[in-house]
Structure 1
Amino acid sequence: MREILAQAEATLANAGVASPRVDARLIAAHLLGCTPLELSFQRVDVDTFAPDYFQLIQRRATREPLQHICQSAFFGPLELRVGPGVFIPRPETELLAEYAVDTLKKLYQKHRRQLLVADLCTGSGALAAYIAHALGEKVHVVAIELSEDALPYTRTNVAPYSNISLVRGDVSTTMLRGMDMIVSNPPYVPETLDLEQEVYADPHMAVFSGANGMDLIPTMVAAVIPSLRSNGVIMIEHDDSTQEAVKDVLAQHAMSNITGHRDYADKPRFVSAVYSPAT
């Protein structure tokens, strides 16, 4: 097994994969139905294992996303089903999810009732499932997704949660009412050909949003802000070049406490704000 893993790692490294050792071990663990830590204890028929394993390694060497090969992506404590047609959740979005959960806990302590949350452009359902998993019946999450290609994955990922309602809809026209919080990881990347190859395996409509990455966010904000309760909270992930632009959009819509948040790499990653309509 050690020699097989070393050969796979070399193949992936030569292909420019960023984490060849980790990926080689994750693919082997996926094929064997174990965790990477258990690989050293697996008894493997090399003649049976190697052909199937190196077929998957060659797929990864073409820069097919690891998550498509393993058919899953981890998001916080959750393992989500993903594949071609749905956006693969990124670790950076976990920061937004954690902040949303912390904020909702404080809101629940204040109101002592079930809170209504909307997850716009839900994709795999990552944010909706994270919030529903963390807070249980303290929240009800409305997860909204437009793509017919993404929805089968979304349905699978939110199925365990009775406190999630999945809606197929366009976030620029969807009408909601009485929301305590809105969260969104919308398409926000400026159109470019300079990203890692794996990014282009995600659906274009889930990643890119015009020349500056801001084609959708202003329209989405204008459509959904009226659905917030007074003092309701909105959180929007964005490109690291557009935090000020997102703040400006929110400032046009009776929002207060507009705050930028940074990610693990200390780059601007999402904005939160509180709805404060004139009374």
Structure 2
Amino acid sequence: MGVKFISWTLFLNLLLEMSCYGSEGAMEMGGGHMDHHHMDPSVMVFFTLKDLKIGKTMPIHFPKRDPSASPKFWPREEADSIPFSLNQLPNLLKHFFFSKDSPQAAAMENTLRECESKTIKGEIKLCATSLESMLDFAQEMIGSGSGIQAFSTSHKTKSSVNFQNYTILEILAEIPAPKMVACHTMPYPYAVFYCHSQKSENRVYKISLVGENGDKVEAMVVCHLDTSQWSPTHISFRVLKVVPGSSSVCHFFPADHLIFVPKLQTQGFSSM
């Protein structure tokens, strides 16, 4: 079986969303610059709502990945035919022919552990192991009264640069999101998305950015207006130097992460 894993950088980007993840280091964001030597670039995706303005420059990490090298969704029947559980990890490693000390085993263990971790107050989550289960969850969270529409970040120019300063050129749209589901890729032998929905107020934006080397990105942004229930160890608080509940937290989405919102509320906007 040809099994491919997404990179650890992508895994770290996913964990930015989760309250159990911590990080060492500190950052200075004076005028959109920082101390590159004391902060992992992969965590540089956070900012506050007051920084969402045309002309603002900030360091951002947009990982570049080859879609052909990423794991693919299995059909629901095939994915459901094997356990997706931490207590079954030894059997799963045998199934995929991975040794218990391999990097793949560590990635699988971390994914399963995150998928089984407790949620924060007001949050509902699902680790979707098939496209069908992801769409079913998004529809359930948003409600059966409307369709769903997916948005994702798109790179308008080809570049191998993952991390640089970007300037906001235009706020293309504030996308109505009375309900929202965010889905993030996880490292696993087949495609797994960590999908979650929160009852707290969120805002969704599509913005146009240009990098210092000319790269152009149409990026999806989610701003969480209420962070009072988040863990104090959430990496965003370290990056932004704020505490839970004291500030909004906005973040950019990598290109292969998805945002689902009600379709009837997004007429006139282009999605993925």
Query: Which is richer in helix?
Result: 1
Q: Which of the pair has the greater relative contact order for Cα pairs under 8 Å at 6+ separation?
A: 2
TM-score by length of 2: 0.25
Query: Which is richer in strand?
Result: 2
TM-score by length of 1: 0.24
